[in-house]
Structure 1
């Protein structure tokens, strides 16, 4: 049963990332299903912070879908009149103050998670688990706000995750995260090449 859940998560995870690159709102629905599955996969593998991260993903998938739906009218105004609105890729860059806030948030979340994992669980990889979870929490929020630098965060997280899942014997998930790392680089390129930069902080 665990292995079936893992393979299902791999398939929906790949679909999620392809939809994310295209900024299709359906990504949030697929992401909801993927995250729900991985809550159980990581629980059985004792990767507790990543399990908690996927609970967070379930919640933020609802927020992300609402956020992107709420901005649909604004997106339509910024899209070429001859192109369907849902094909526009809008993004904004991270400012220096925002970067400072994000760095502090990652550090605080990491410290808290490491303390909990190291002292109160039997996690075999508390440092790595805390790191990928802390950065993943912040990167997902950045995605919901269409901040393009979230792709760089995901490249780092995915590369570290490949090693962690190798250690835990989660080979299908390890393969998924190799694909995630590659497609995150593709996503960064696609957003820069085809996207429309905006300074709209409400995105």
Structure 2
């Protein structure tokens, strides 16, 4: 199929393996069809982001809306609000911005021009992130939140990673790696305490973690190739 014509062998096997795992969990653990759809669309989304493909946002629209509902049913209201009120609408902004910055080069695989942050940009962003985490944690404390610093950290890192993504910075993947690690811990805790059967959510975040590592490697390689062109 032409949709897979510029996919590497790793990317094809990675997607097939993840799909088969989720199919198994769907039947073995009596998982919900919504959980399966969310996990599969999420995996397609992040793989396409790692490849620099604009089509990632269409799968992102499906994943963020379904995941927001699932998170809400588990009383993970922070996750639900983050996906419903931030991730979902920003998919449309991402489509617009990535289309404006499509590359005209012939490098295999990617659609958009990739950027890297400067050292000064890193310093400014780090300070902004630390201050934002502290201030948001204070807000969560005032409204009676629990585990406020973990909650604040995951939300701030997620927002920063998404903004870096739509602005096409390779450094987004460093933040996604941290977000995915925290999300795995979050779902492990939730499934353990509630006895839920949405195992696909845990598998999805684990797959996201692996993909974010691959994404950083691939975007770094694409950036070098684009500079040479």
Q: TM-score range by the shorter chain?
A: 0.7 to 0.9
Q: Equivalent residues in 2 for 1:94-173 (5 A)?
A: 94-120=117-143, 125-169=147-191, 170-173=198-201
- Contact 2:48–2:55 at 8 Å: present in 1 too? yes
The structure-2 alpha-carbon separation of the partners of 1:159 and 1:25, relative to structure 1 and needing over 3 Å to count, comes to same
The structure-2 alpha-carbon separation of the partners of 1:112 and 1:19, relative to structure 1 and needing over 3 Å to count, comes to same
Residue 88 of structure 2 is aligned to residue 66 of structure 1: no
Q: Matched residues in 2 for 1:115 and 1:46: separation?
A: 21
- Contact 2:177–2:209 at 8 Å: present in 1 too? yes
Q: State the match for 1:33 in structure 2.
A: 62
Match of 2:116, SS state, is coil
Residue 208 of structure 2 is aligned to residue 180 of structure 1: yes
CA RMSD of aligned residues (A): 2.3
Q: Matched residues in 2 for 1:100 and 1:20: separation?
A: 25
The structure-2 alpha-carbon separation of the partners of 1:124 and 1:167, relative to structure 1 and needing over 3 Å to count, comes to farther
Q: Matched residues in 2 for 1:148 and 1:51: separation?
A: 26
Q: Equivalent residues in 2 for 1:15-94 (5 A)?
A: 15-54=44-83, 55-72=85-102, 75-76=103-104, 79-80=105-106, 87-88=110-111, 90-94=113-117
* Displaced runs of 4 or more, over 4 A: none
- Contact 2:114–2:222 at 8 Å: present in 1 too? no
Unaligned runs of 5+ in 1: 199-203
Shift of 1:111: 3.0
The structure-2 alpha-carbon separation of the partners of 1:6 and 1:146, relative to structure 1 and needing over 3 Å to count, comes to same
Q: Matched residues in 2 for 1:46 and 1:159: separation?
A: 20
Shift of 1:125: 4.2
Unaligned runs of 5+ in 2: 1-30, 192-197
Shift of 1:112: 4.0
- Contact 1:49–1:117 at 8 Å: present in 2 too? no
Deviates more, 1:62-71 or 1:97-106: 97-106
